[in-house]
Amino acid sequence: MPKFAANLTMLFTERPFLERFAAARAAGFDAVEFLFPYAWPAQEIKARLTQHRLQLVLHNLPAGDWDAGERGIACLPDRTEEFRAGVAQAIAYATALDVPQLNCLIGKVPAGADPRQVDEAVIENLRHAATELARHGKRLVVEPINTFDIPGFYLHGTAQALRLIEQVGADNLFVQYDIYHMQRMEGEIAATLQKHLAQIGHVQLADNPGRHEPGTGELNWRFLFAHLDRIGYDGWIGCEYQPATTTEAGLGWIEALSH
């Protein structure tokens, strides 16, 4: 049976963020993940994790001005200092919250940018982030994202992510494989997971179309979860989906797996 982590950016959104930890535990989750912790003191989040006996398995590096539409700054050559400051901030939070790995959203390529300069910025920024995280015993993951939802996103395919990891050359750099994003971009979910399992550090899910909970779209989740068990994936699976109605009303898919 896979291990599921509730993504608190997407689930239980009827509640203020700090109340979602209790809701995740009440719903039966043992672990959580979310995009960013930086709007709250680390000790506030740590208190919720401890109180509700939850493990935090992932959060992201700072990704620029999210409300203004930025989705990462690692591909912006003129924002290197900001990126490095964000790495330091992320490590401080991850250390306080005992998070084993951090995700770097690469970002959207600016119109008219020099592709060579963009590529160089990405490689150098990831090399720096991976080096700093390694000093603290933590892993870095990078996430390919579909360009239907986020046009212009730099990293948008599995093969591209694997090439990038090879270019960076860091032992602690892995792919964050989001099944929803990769179903939209390339399909071949089961074969890709099996072929590249050693380089996949984290898995996330949502059904397609709609990005709702498993069972609302075209994917055969019973097969995929059994497949992940068969090939030996032993990490957490982040539930990063938009509930079709409410989070609680849509959680029957987890219970159905045991029948």
The model's pLDDT over 54-84, given as tens digits with 9 standing for 90+, comes to 999 999 999 999 999 999 999 999 999 999 9
Phi and psi, residue 17, nearest 5°: -50, -50
Collect all residues with Cβ–Cβ distance below 8 Å to 192 and sequence separation of at least 6. Answer: 158, 177, 182, 186
Residue 8 has what DSSP assignment?
Answer: T
| pLDDT 10s digits, 12-64 | 999 999 999 999 999 999 999 999 999 999 999 999 999 999 999 999 999 99
Q: Domain with 24 in it: what CATH number?
A: 3.20.20.150
Residue 104 β-bridge partners: 142
Domain interval for residue 19: 3-256
Classify 7 as helix, strand or coil: strand
Collect all residues with Cβ–Cβ distance below 8 Å to 89 and sequence separation of at least 6. Answer: 38, 62
Element holding 130 (H helix, E strand): helix 115-135
Banded pLDDT at 258 (limits 50, 70, 90)? confident
Alpha-carbon distance 226 to 110, whole Å? 40
Alpha-carbon distance 243 to 31, whole Å? 18
Alpha-carbon distance 91 to 96, whole Å? 8
Instruction: Kindly list the catalytic residues.
Output: 143, 240
Residue 55 β-bridge partners: 31
Alpha-carbon distance 57 to 239, whole Å? 12
Domain count within the chain: 1
Phi and psi, residue 69, nearest 5°: 100, 0
| pLDDT 10s digits, 85-130 | 999 999 999 999 999 999 999 999 999 999 999 999 999 999 999 9
